[in-house]
Amino acid sequence: MRLIAHRGFDDRYPANTVAAVGQAISQADMIELDIRRCASGELVVAHNALVDIDIEGVDEVDELPASELAALDAHDGEGIQTLETVLDAIPSEVGVNLELKDPTTAEQALGMAESIPHDVLISSFDADALRGIRPSQRSNVELAYVLGATPTDDVAVATELNCACVHPNAWLCLLTGVVADAHNAGLTVNAWTVDSRLGAWALSRRGVDGLIASSPHVAD
């Protein structure tokens, strides 16, 4: 199974930061990053829409330009960085999973993804966000549909979207037939979020192809 570092192994390092990526690249096959757009138009790496720091009159990432976000002490001295800055810290042999937290960033994310040498997955819970993405025929980019913990999430949607992968919640993998259904549809399965060796073992028995994990220890 391939190991995908959830937000740069966010149980061990500050999530979605250059510092986390620097630690995770030697331990993971792929780095998962959450992306949004800021006020100055760049894509930045942040999970939450709200700025997790007290700034009078400012509540959201898209209300600040990239320069001000980078200057924040939001993550152990490191601010919210542009996607370009974080990608520069990832060697080309390590893959990248860009999870769209804002569906309007899909086209911009694709342009960025196709400009780098890495293998890239663009993923989202939002089917409409993925529906608008059309990687070029010779692209390094593939799509992944993220499935939550409810049985109504459908592998058929991923097939209709021309995805290469589904990313089901780990419990969905363990309690339903989603892994077999996905494999029968020709899709790779990366389960999230895995936080224990026992969970990783159980998922391996289910036949998942990859673990989206918060710590590298799950693969020990």
**Amino acid residing at 200:** A
Give the span between the Cα atoms of 12 and 28, in whole angstroms. Answer: 13
**Amino acid residing at 203:** L
C-alpha dihedral sign at 17, 22, 27, 33: positive
Give the span between the Cα atoms of 35 and 17, in whole angstroms. Answer: 12
Task: Report pLDDT for 174.
Answer: 94
pTM surpassing 0.85? yes
How many residues make up the chain in this entry? 220
Four-point Cα dihedral 96, 203, 194, 105, nearest 10? 40
Provide φ and ψ at 210, rounded to 5°.
Answer: -150, 155
Task: Give residue 39's pLDDT band: very low, low, confident or very high (50, 70, 90).
Answer: very high
Q: What is the mean pLDDT of residues 21-29?
A: 97
Give the span between the Cα atoms of 165 and 163, in whole angstroms. Answer: 5
Q: Decide if pLDDT at 56 tops 50.
A: no
Q: Decide if pLDDT at 13 tops 70.
A: yes
Q: Decide if pLDDT at 78 tops 90.
A: no
Report residue 43 CA to chain centroid gap: 14
Indicate the class that CATH gives domain 2-219: alpha beta
Helix (H) or strand (E) holding 198: helix 197-206
Determine contact, residues 183/205, Cβ cutoff 8 Å: no
Q: Decide if pLDDT at 106 tops 90.
A: yes
Sketch the domain layout of the chain as residue ranges: 2-219
Task: Give residue 123's pLDDT band: very low, low, confident or very high (50, 70, 90).
Answer: very high
Provide φ and ψ at 206, rounded to 5°.
Answer: -75, -15
